[in-house]
Every structure is written in structure tokens, then in C-alpha cells.
Amino acid sequence: MALRWIEGFETDQDVTDFGRKYAAAVNSGSWSFSTGPKVGSMMQAGGGADSELRTKTLVVTPSNTWFTGWRVRCSTAAGGFTTVTDRGGGITAFRGVSDQVEVRIHSAGGGAFTWRVYRGATLLGESPSFWDTDWIYWEFKFVCRTGTNGSIEIKSRDTYHGSASTVFYSLAAVNTANSGTDGADTFRFKFQFGNNGSFDDIYINDDSGSVNNSYSSGDVVIFGSSPNGDGNRTQWTPSTAGPHFSLVNDPPGTPSDATKIKSQTPGQVDLFDYQNLALVSSGQSLLGLMIGTTGGMETSGSRNLRHIVRDTGGSEATGTAWNWSTTPTQHQAEVFEQNPVTSVPWTKTAVDAAQFGIELVS
């Protein structure tokens, strides 16, 4: 597996949601959400302070080579980039809690921007200027290594700055491992743009596995979907009698932990229908899918749970079991790069018809 994370800012939008989903979710810059450039919602950074999302550990063993995509718009609206300064917005690769290398948006003045590459406080290099008053889909290759073994490569997916076949900026033979050890396992997305930076459609791949092991090569769109119907089985106990799905499809930005389903009977399954995918055409292949479940122990004890995927034909597959042993509400995310029932790439047709849910294993 090589697809490690996706974020489209649709199903989660407040600091409580993000605090469960991410290792760190800092909203000192007052982020907000509005209609996205492609589908669903986007994040807008506000204020002058840093906001950030830092992923949980994405891999057990750090990988040297990573690919990330990020849709960014740096509006030049009033109050924007009139001074030449690093704005602190960018992507940082970490090994554990140690930062390795950062790619940071820099306001170059006159409405122009550059990407600056930092190892700690050391400026390693700076890209050519770009003009980002409309959305640009950027992709980054991080090779996090010591000595002269590290590199950074940046591609742009717009007409003016590049394409899938061209490199916008390349920095080779540099030390990109500030910790002194090769590898990264965590990424931080930082947002600090006054009221003028907007963001969407993040993916993170490493170079392992047979798919999603390089750039995703394009204008990647992340679609967020919530349960919109009860599926094949509703064996868990609802907090309020009636449909189960409406207890667990809490609106983004206003999570309600009081509405929920619960179980203490191993083997019980709840499955849900989900909103169909927008934008993509029928039969179109998808890069991957990530399921997220929010929950925890109601009082005490410990339980093993796993995600369950039910294909349109009625066959089912299960994900990797995890354990919850504490009462604070947590978030468990799991990537299914391909349909686990058929072991072929997901299509819109298959995702739209599939059901996803949760099993109390033991």
C-alpha cells in the first residue's frame, strides 16, 4: 500500500473533528470553510497566526520518498501579500516529532510567490516565481535523506506553470533530514495567509506498493461522503430508535457525540449506504478510498473493532482490526486503495453501490 492519507475538508471541519483525526490540529488562525473549487468544501486560512494539521504516524517504518498533492490559492485580495515575507504556510515532513524539511510558500512581492525549501532555519533553495491568484494543483516529491542524498521536486498542474510531464522546480543533492536520520513518517500542512489563502484536495503517497507509489499525476480531487441510509445489517443499538445512519452522519463542523450507535456483542455489524460520488463519471477509476470512524469506549474496558466493506454483489471484506481502550472519542482512519472484495481498483460505480460499516470483533 502506498496511499497513506487524503483530506478534502468535507466530512470534518472543526477543531474537535480534526483533533481526533490528526495528531495536532491547531486553529489559531481561525480557519473557515466554504464551497470548494471542484466539489464539496475547501479550507480558508484566516487571521495572521499559524493554523496547522499534522497527521498521525502514517507508516510503521519511516519511508525516504514521499509524494504529496495540494490544491492552493493565494489570493491577492486586499490585506494580502503586500510585504515580502515568509508566511509560514507549507508542508513539512517529520520523522517522529523531529522536522526534516519544509516546503514553504513565500510572498515575493508584486503578487508573485515562490516555494522556499528549509531544513530547520536553513534556506536550501527557492523556486521560480508563480502567480497563484487562481487555484493551482501542486505536487511535491520529498526525498528525506542526510548528506547529499536528499532532494525536493515540485510539479504544477496549471497551464502557466507546468504540467504532469514537466518539473517546476528541482533541488537535488541536499540534506533534507534535519533530524540527522533518513526518512519521514508524518506530514504537517500549515496555513498562514491572512484571510487570503485557500486549500483543498490533499493526498500523501509513499513509494511502496504496486499502486499510488509516485505522483498521482494530475488534478486530484478528494470527495467526502457521509452515511445516507442504513445498509444490509443494523445490529448495533441506536441511541434513539429509528434509522441508524442519521445518528452517525453528524454535520461537518458540528459533531454530536450524543447521537450514536453502540454494541457490546462480538460479531455485531452495522453497515451504511453512503452519498454517491460527484464529479467523476460512471466507471471511472479512483486512486483510493479512506474510511474514518469516530468512537471510543462508553465507560471502561477494551474492544477490538474493524471496518467492513460490502460490495454490490453482497460479498464482504474486512479491514485491519484496531483496539479502543479509553473513553475519549477517537478517530480511526483506514485506506482501501482498491476494492478489498474484488482486489481491483475502485470505480465510481463500485463505490456508489458499496456499503461501509463497522464490526465489533471481540
Site residues (vs Ca ion, CB under 5 A): 8-9, 36, 40, 200, 250, 256, 259, 273-274, 276, 352
Terminal Cα-to-Cα distance of the chain (whole angstroms): 26
Alpha-carbon distances, residue 278 vs 42, 70, 136, 216, 284 (angstroms): 15, 20, 21, 19, 12
Asked if residues 327 and 299 have their Cβ atoms less than 8 Å apart, the reply is yes
* Cα→Cα distances 265→75, 268, 355, Å: 53, 6, 21
Length of the chain: 362
**CA 336 – CA 242 distance, rounded (Å):** 30
Beta bridge partners of 61: none
The distance of closest approach from Cβ of residue 311 to Ca ion in the complex, given in angstroms and rounded to an integer, is 12
- Name beta bridge partners: 43: 33, 199
Of residues 183 and 224, the one with the C-beta less far from Ca ion = 224
- Residue type (1 letter), 261: I
Q: Which residue, 46 or 231, has its beta carbon nearer to Ca ion?
A: 231
Question: Rounded to 5 degrees, what are φ and ψ at 351?
Answer: -65, -45
Q: Smaller CB distance to Ca ion: residue 49 or 297? A: 297
Residue 80 or 224 having the CB closest to Ca ion: 224
Shortest Cβ 309–Ca ion spacing (Å): 13
Shortest gap between Cβ of 362 and Ca ion (angstroms)? 24
- Here the cell at position 163 is 504540467
Question: What cell does 178 get?
Answer: 534535519
Least gap, CB of 98 to Ca ion (angstroms): 30
Minimum CB distance to Ca ion, residue 301 (Å): 21
CA dist 25 and 304 (Å) reads: 26
CA atoms within 13 A on the CB side of 11: 22
Q: How far is the CB of 205 from Ca ion (least distance, A)?
A: 18
- The CA distance from 78 to 59, in Å, is 41
Residue 29 phi, psi dihedral angles, 5° rounding: -95, 10
Closest contact distance (angstroms) between CB of 36 and Ca ion is 4
The nearer residue to Ca ion, 9 or 118, going by C-beta atoms, is 9
Beta carbon nearer to Ca ion, 12 or 99: 12
Select 27 or 179, whichever has its Cβ closest to Ca ion: 27
Least distance from Ca ion to the Cβ atom of residue 114, Å: 25
In the complex with Ca ion, the residue whose CB is nearer, 40 or 319, is 40
Give backbone dihedrals phi and psi of 192, rounded to 5 degrees, phi first.
-150, 95
Sheet holding 186-191, edge to edge: 24-27, 51-54, 186-191, 85-95, 98-109, 112-119, 122-126
